[in-house]
Structure 1
Amino acid sequence: MDAKKIINIAVIAHVDAGKSTLVDGLLNQAGVFRDNQEIDAQVMDSNDQEKERGITIYSKNCAIEYKGIKINIVDTPGHADFSSEVERIMKTVDTVILLVDSSEGPMPQTRFVTQKALELGLHPILMINKIDKKDQRAEEVVDEVLELFMELDADESQMNFPVLYGIAKEGIAQYDMTTPSKDLSPLLETIVTQVGSYDTDLSANPTRMQVSSLAYDPFIGRLGIGRLFEGKAKAGQSVSVIRNDGTQYNGKITKVFVYQGLNRVEVEEASAGDIVVIAGLPEISIGDTVGELNNVKAMDPIKIEEPTMSMNFLVNTSPFAGRVGKFVTSRNIKERLEKELEVNVGLRVEPLVNSDVEGFKVLGRGELHLSVLIEQMRREGFELGISSPEVIFHKNPQTGEIMEPMEKVIINVPTEYSGTVINKLNLRKGMMLDMDSDGVRDKVTYNVPLRALIGFRSEFTNDTHGEGILVQSSNGFEPYKGAIESRQNGVMISMANGVTVAYALSGLEPRGTLFVGPQTEVYEGMIVGQHSRSNDLDVNPTTGKKLTNTRSSGTDESTKLSPWKKMTLEEALEFIEWDELVEVTPDDIRLRKKWLTINDRKRHRNDQKKAIEEL
C-alpha cells in the first residue's frame, strides 16, 4: 500500500476510560467482524489475565481501512505499572487519541501518557468519553485538559487540539454535545484531517525501521515489531542492525507481516509509514534500528522509566516443594526471566549474592507489574518463593542525599470515611495536595512515598467498605521521608506438620483471622492466620479432639467456623513482612516464614533488629 495512505494512531488514557471499548467500536465500524460472528467485549484484551482483571496489560496492534486509508491502531495499557508499554510505542504513531472520562476528568496516568505524547511533538485528539453518565461534566473536563496541556508546556499548535464527545460502548462520536451521531465517523474524519498525507514518498529512501515491541512465534522465532520510517522492508532482504548500545551486526529478513483487522498477514514487502513485523533476526531487541546493509543511521534509543520496586524470586524450599510444579529449579527460573526480559522492557533482573536460597532480584514498575509476571509463571507450572516488595532508593549525585520514589494518589471516598483515610495517609508521611467535596463524596489528592502504599490498598478497601476509589501514578523522587510504621499485627504460625481440623481452628478463631480452612495440609513455619495482637503466635492447627467413651449432652455437636480469608496473590504480596515469603505454586498460594522452625527464627532475631533499623 502507498505510504501516503497509511496513518498510525494510539489510544491513550487512564485505566477504565474506555480505550479497548473504543477500539472495539472502530473495528466493528470498519467491518472487521462478520455479521454472525460472536465477539467478546474488549476483543483486543486477548491475554487470560487481561480478561480476568479487566485491564489492558500489553500494547497490541490492529488495522482498519477508512476511505482508502489504512489506519494502524495501537491499544495501550492505562495502569501506571505498565507505562513502559506506552512509552515505547509513542514513536511509532502519527497522533494519539486521548480518551478522558466525562465525569472523572484527567487522572494521574492521563498526565503521564499525555506528557510522553507532547514530548515527542505529537498533536493529540481529545475525546471526552461516557457522556451518557448522569454526573457528566464534559465542558469542565475539556477546560481541565487544557490546563493540563499548559502545565506540561505544550506548544501553541498542540494546545489547539480538536475535541470530540462520545460513548465508546455504543460506537458513537460527535463533534459537540448537541449534535447527535450514529457512529464513529466524526472521529475517523478528524484523524484523517489531523494527520493528513505524508509530504514525500519516503518509500524511495533507504530502509529504516525501529523496533518498539517484540513477539515470538514457535515456528519462525523472535519477531520485531515497529514502524517502518523510510524505505521498504522485503522478505529475503539483507540488513544491518544497530543495537541500543551502538554495536552493529548484519542479518536477513526472512518474512514480513503487516496488520489487517486483528490479523497479522504475510506480505512480500511493506512500505514506509506502516507498522510491520519482521522475522529472521534472532537477536533483535527493543530500540534496535534496522536498515540498509552497511548503510544504516541509528535512531534515538527508546528511553524507559527506571524500575521503582523489587522482589526476590527464590527457589521454593518449603516441605511441599515440587509436588505440583513442573519448573522448580534455579535454572528454570533463570531461563524464564531471561525470556521475559526480551519483551518486558520495564523489567530488570539481577542474580542474588550472599543469599541462603538461590534466586534472583527482579525489579519492576510496581506491585501489579511484578504480580502479573508471577501469576503468569504460576500458570505455566513454576514454583517460587517470593519475598516482600521493596522500593528502590536512589542517591542524589550532587548532594549524596537518599531519594525515594513518590506516588501521586487520588482517592474518591464517601465523606463519612474520608477522615479515616486521611489520617492513615498522614501517618504514612503523605502530603495533602488538594481536597474537594460535593457533600456526598470527597476527592483528595496526596503525594505519598511509594513504600507507604505497600499493603495500603487492602486497608483502604476495608476502611471505605469497598466504596472508595484509589488511583496512583509515579511522581518522581524526593528526599527520604523517614521511618514508616509497617504492619501492626503479628501472624499465627503452624508449629506442626499435618492436616488442619475444625476443632483446632475453632480455638484459634478468637485469636485473629484465619487464612486456612479445615482439611488443609500445613507444615511447620507456614502462616495460618493473622494474630489480633502485634506479636507472632505459634499454634497447632492440627490438634484433634480427645475422644472418651463417655458421652455428655451438647458436646458432640459439629464445629462451626466463620469463613476464612483466602489470600489473592496481590493481597499476599502486600501482607508479608521482611522475614516472610509467599509460596507460589500452580495450585496454591501460601504464606510462610523464611525460617521455618522456632529455633531458627530465634537465631535470626538479630537479623530482624538490623532489618528494622535499616528500614
Structure 2
Amino acid sequence: MLEITGTVQADKITPQLLDSNPIERERGITIKLAPVAMSHKGYTLNLIDTPGHVDFNYEVERALQACEGALLLVDATKGVQAQTVANLRLAKNLGLTIIPVVNKIDAPLANTSAAIRQLKQLLNIDIEPFLVSAKTGEGVKNLLDHIISDLPSPSLRGGTPTWQSHSTHPFQALVFNSTFDIHLGVIAFVKIVSGDLHHGDKLEFLNSGQSLTASEIGIFSPGRTEKKIIASGNVGYIITGLKDIRRVLVGDTLCLSTQIKQVSPIPGFRKIHPNVFLDLYPAEGSQYRDLVDALEKLKLNDSSLTTQGINSPILGQGVKVGFLGMLHAEVVGERLEREFGLPVISVSPSVEYKVQLRSGEEKCFSSPTDFPDPAVITKSYEPMAAVNIVVTSPYVGAVMELCQDLRGSLVNVSYLDELVEIDYFLPLIEVITTLHDSLKSVSQGFASMDYELSGWQEAELVKLDVLLNHELFTPMSVITVKEKAYYKGKRISEKLKEAIPRQQFEIPIQVAIGGQIIARETIKAYRKDVDAKLHGGDFTRNLKLLSKQKKGKARMKQFGRVSVPQEAFLAIAKS
C-alpha cells in the first residue's frame, strides 16, 4: 500500500518497514503500533498497523477506536488464529466496518481455499474475501479502491461528518499511543474526533487533568511530517514537551483548555494494569543501579511497565517488574541484555491474588513474601481468564484434556471449516506458566490461543517454600492451590535436582507448606576415592581415611553455600 500510494518510494521500501524495533523484525511480530497517512485518488487514508498478540490487547482496542473500519488480515499459510477471533470481536463491539482479506496467496504453503472458507464462516458472509499478496502487490490496488468505497468517512458519534462542520464543534481528540524522544519529550499519537488542532494550542487531558502546549503537530508519512493544522478525522501526533510518559494515558481524551466544560470524555478509557509479575535480579550484584536505570529508560517508551525495589537475603537487591504478559516480559528481558548488556536472573512468574482477612480487610498481593499468615485468612481468590483456543480437529481431544488438567471449565465449542474454536475458563496463573507451551506441544504447533481477564474465583491458596540444605530459599517460594500443592511440590523438587549442579557436599532439596515437608529430593555429593592408593595392609587404614572424609563432608555441609544457577529458576517457572 505504501508503495502503490507513493507514500514511500519503491527504492526505499524495506521488509517490515513499520516495525522499527530489531526484536520485532527478528520475531516477525508487531509490538508497538505504527500509524501512517496515505493519499489515494484524492482521499486521505490513515492506516494503523496494530500488534496481534494478546499481551497488547488494550493498545489494539484503543487503536481500533481511532478507526472507522478494519482490515481483518488472515495468513493463507496459517488460516484463522485465536487472535483473529479476538480482534474481530473488539472491532465488532466498536461498530467498525470489517473488510476480510487473505494475505500471502503467493506463498508455496498457502491454502487459500481453506482460509476463504474459514473467514466466510467466521464472519457469516457469502461474499469472497479480498485475495492479496503484500510481497508482489497482487490485489492491493483493488483493495485500496474498496477501502475508499466501502469504509465510512470520519463522523461524530451523532453521525454528522466532522469535515463539514468542524468549526462549530469543540476540539476533541483520542490518545491511542505515546512514545518518548530524548530531545522532544513525550509524543502523543492522536485521532482528531471533532474540531481542528492548531500549532501552539493550549490543551488538557480530561481524565488525568494534565495540561500541555502543542509545541509541534503533524502527521505520519511514515516518519513525522510537521503541519500547522490537523483537520478533524485525521490521525497525527502532538509533541507535548512532557518528560514523563506516565502523564500521557493511552485512551485519554484531549481538549482545548478553554473548552474543558464543553467536552465529554470518549468512552472506554481505563488505566493499564500489569497481569504478570517477575522479580528481576542482576547476575552481578554490583549492577543493581544499572538495572534500575535501564528499566527507567525502558519505561520512558513503555508506560505499562511497573517497577518496585525488592531485597532478597539470597540474591541481594532486585526489582519487581509488572508486565502485560509473558511475551512482554520476554521482550523486556531481551532488550535489557541486548541494549544495556545486563543479563538478569528472573524468578518464577506470579499474578495478583486477593484474600479476605478476619478483620474484614481485603488484601491484594503478587509476591509469595507478602502472603499473609494462613490463620488470619477467611477467603482467598485467584484471577481467572477467558481463554479462546483455535485448533485443527485432530487435536481437539488432547487440547481439552490439557485444559481440564489445568483446572479449566469448558464454556463453548464451535467449528470453522476444519478448525475448532474452544472457549475455556481457566486460572490466569495456569494460562501464563503452562498453557501456552503445553498447547503447542499437544497440538504439534497447530493451536493458537488468546485470553482476557475474567474476574476472580474462590480458591484455597497455600505458599510452597523451598529449602536448600535446610535453609529457606525465599526467591523460589510459589503460591498455588492446595489441591495441586503436593503434585507441584514434587515437580519442583525433581526439577531442582536436575538443574542444580552437584557440590562437594550432599544437598537436600525440600518443599514445605508452613512447617510440613511435602516433597524431598537429595543431590548426592561428589566423592573422591580416598582409599584408591592403598594396596593391601590392614582394613582399618581404609576405615580411617573414609571416616576422615565423612567428617570433612559434614563440615562442608554445615558451612558450604549452595550454588544456584539461572536454570534452577527457570525449572521452578516451568514446574
Please classify the TM superposition score into its range, dividing by the shorter chain length. 0.5 to 0.7
Amino acid at match of 1:486: K
**Structure 1 counterpart of 2:322:** 363
Relative to structure 1, is the Cα distance of residues 253 and 444 closer, same or farther in structure 2, using a 3 angstrom cutoff?
Answer: closer
**Structure 1 counterpart of 2:266:** 300
Alpha-carbon contact 1:214-1:224 (below 8 Å) kept: yes
Alignment equivalent of 2:205, drawn from 238, 242, 249: 242
Write out per-residue CA displacement over residues 310-352 of structure 1, whole angstroms, 9 at most, x where no aligned residue.
3243443x6x434xxxx522xx555554555554354444555
1:558-569 matches, cutoff 5 A: none
Relative to structure 1, is the Cα distance of residues 206 and 475 closer, same or farther in structure 2, using a 3 angstrom cutoff?
Answer: closer
Alignment equivalent of 1:69, drawn from 16, 21, 43: 43
Structure with the bigger percentage of helix: 2
Aligned counterparts of 1:270 and 1:436: Cα–Cα separation in 2: 46
Unaligned runs of 5+ in 2: 155-160, 363-377, 460-480, 510-518, 534-561
Would you say 1:404 and 2:368 are equivalent positions? no
**Structure 2 counterpart of 1:448:** 426
**Structure 1 counterpart of 2:409:** 431
**Structure 2 counterpart of 1:386:** 346
Shift of 1:76: 0.6
**Structure 2 counterpart of 1:309:** 275
1:175-214 matches, cutoff 5 A: 182-197=138-153, 199=161, 200-204=163-167, 205-214=169-178
1:217-228 matches, cutoff 5 A: 217-228=181-192
Would you say 1:168 and 2:133 are equivalent positions? yes
Aligned counterparts of 1:31 and 1:353: Cα–Cα separation in 2: 55
Write out per-residue CA displacement over residues 197-246 of structure 1, whole angstroms, 9 at most, x where no aligned residue.
453435425443232211122222221111122333333x140312523x
Relative to structure 1, is the Cα distance of residues 405 and 445 closer, same or farther in structure 2, using a 3 angstrom cutoff?
Answer: closer
Shift of 1:50: 1.0
**Structure 1 counterpart of 2:123:** 146
**TM-score normalised by L of structure 1:** 0.63
**Structure 1 counterpart of 2:34:** 60
Write out per-residue CA displacement over residues 64-89 of structure 1, whole angstroms, 9 at most, x where no aligned residue.
21102121111111111111221222
Amino acid at match of 2:205: I
Alignment equivalent of 2:220, drawn from 216, 240, 259: 259
Aligned counterparts of 2:353 and 2:173: Cα–Cα separation in 1: 36
Alpha-carbon contact 1:256-1:278 (below 8 Å) kept: yes
**Structure 2 counterpart of 1:597:** none
Amino acid at match of 1:75: D
Would you say 1:30 and 2:29 are equivalent positions? no
Shift of 1:146: 3.0
Relative to structure 1, is the Cα distance of residues 462 and 69 closer, same or farther in structure 2, using a 3 angstrom cutoff?
Answer: closer
Relative to structure 1, is the Cα distance of residues 119 and 36 closer, same or farther in structure 2, using a 3 angstrom cutoff?
Answer: closer
Shift of 1:54: 1.6
Alignment equivalent of 1:271, drawn from 231, 247, 272: 231
Relative to structure 1, is the Cα distance of residues 240 and 138 closer, same or farther in structure 2, using a 3 angstrom cutoff?
Answer: closer
Relative to structure 1, is the Cα distance of residues 384 and 137 closer, same or farther in structure 2, using a 3 angstrom cutoff?
Answer: closer
Q: Secondary structure at the match of 1:391?
A: coil
Aligned length: 473
Q: Which has the larger radius of gyration?
A: 2
**Structure 2 counterpart of 1:486:** 488
**Structure 2 counterpart of 1:126:** 100
Relative to structure 1, is the Cα distance of residues 122 and 457 closer, same or farther in structure 2, using a 3 angstrom cutoff?
Answer: closer
Aligned counterparts of 1:421 and 1:493: Cα–Cα separation in 2: 24
1:284-363 matches, cutoff 5 A: 284-286=247-249, 287-296=251-260, 297-300=263-266, 302-304=268-270, 307=273, 309-316=275-282, 320-322=284-286, 328-329=288-289, 333-334=291-292, 336-338=294-296, 340-341=298-299, 343-350=301-308, 358-363=317-322
Alpha-carbon contact 2:387-2:451 (below 8 Å) kept: yes
| Percentage identity across paired residues of the two chains | 20
Alignment equivalent of 2:14, drawn from 18, 23, 39: 39
